[in-house]
Amino acid sequence: MPWMETSPVEQRERFIRDHRLDVYAMAELCARAGISRKTGYKWLGRFEEGGRLGLHDRSRAPHHCPHRITRDVAAVICAARRQHPSWGPAKLLAWLPPRHPDLEWPAVSTAGDLLARRGLVKKRRRRRQWQHRSRSSRDASIRLKSRSRREAMR
């Protein structure tokens, strides 16, 4: 007999159905489902609020970011970068505040991320990391050199 696969929503529906049948006490019902009583009451509340759709997992992403750059600041930084394409975010943020004292300026790294997102910065080529040659390849090259020297002497 194959294993029965159920989704979390189906398990939550079964939990709600069993609760409505009123066969088990809440503590026993939660123990059978392998959840805490707090979680059991949470799923009951969500079902009452939204029905079956309330039993789906919710996004954990924040609703808003209080530290987000305003559109005005982003526009000023991007315009300054277009005027001075060779300047980086640190130089731009040193140059801009005296010209726009009324704006709140982000950190240098945030300005750099903004410029990268807008495609105003070219990515640098990464250098290859230097590696030691392995002993076997070094020995092989030495043998090859000594053989070619012997052949040249003949």
pLDDT tens-digit readout, 117-148: 999 988 878 888 777 766 666 666 666 666 66
Q: Domain tally for the chain? A: 2
75 and 45 assigned to the same domain: no
Q: What is the pLDDT of residue 128?
A: 80
46 and 75 assigned to the same domain: no
Q: Are 42 and 30 in contact (CB under 8 A)?
A: no
Residue that wins the pLDDT comparison between 49 and 2: 49
50 and 82 assigned to the same domain: no
Q: Are 78 and 111 in contact (CB under 8 A)?
A: no
110 and 78 assigned to the same domain: yes
78 and 44 assigned to the same domain: no
Query: Does residue 145 form part of some domain?
Result: no
**Cβ neighbours of residue 29 closer than 8 Å, sequence gap 6 or more:** 15, 18, 19, 40
Q: What is the pTM of this model?
A: 0.50
Distance between CA atoms of 37 and 56, rounded to whole angstroms? Answer: 19
Query: Does residue 39 form part of some domain?
Result: yes
77 and 109 assigned to the same domain: yes
Query: Does residue 105 form part of some domain?
Result: yes
Residue-number span of the structural domain to which 44 is assigned: 8-55
Distance between CA atoms of 15 and 9, rounded to whole angstroms? Answer: 10
Mean pLDDT of 39-49: 94
Query: Does residue 85 form part of some domain?
Result: yes
Query: Does residue 130 form part of some domain?
Result: no
